[in-house]
Amino acid sequence: MIQKFQEYLNSRLLLLRLEVSEKISKTLAAFLRRIVLLMLFMLFLVFGAVALSLYLGEVMDSTIFGFLVVSGAFLLLFFLGLALSKPLLEKPFMNQAIRILFEKKNEQNDTGQQS
């Protein structure tokens, strides 16, 4: 009886380790996916900003003023982002991590049976 209980306990511990590692890997994968997408967007933003700066520089006959206008716009966006960072950035990341960590695995519902 004690041996059966120890086997059961070992099985539960192994299952717990597997579930924790699955949730950690899902959270890490979601985080890395967002980082890669953010890096690609940042490249787009940098090249777009340079192109816009050069265009505005031609329109205003001064490349320096074109870059100053674009950098001023980015400064305004920075302060706006700083003010709105918690609801726009922090909460969605936290909510997704919590969703992944606490999602229920219910194989019976996947096969169409009710619990």
Segment 35-59 mean pLDDT: 96
Query: Please, are residues 53 and 66 in contact by the beta-carbon 8 Å criterion?
Result: yes
Segment 58-83 mean pLDDT: 94
In this prediction the pTM is: 0.60
pLDDT band at 103 (very low <50, low <70, confident <90, very high): confident
Tell which phi-psi region holds residue 106, choosing left (phi > 0), alpha (psi between -120 and 50) or beta. beta
pLDDT band at 105 (very low <50, low <70, confident <90, very high): low
Asked whether the predicted pLDDT for residue 110 surpasses 70, the reply is no
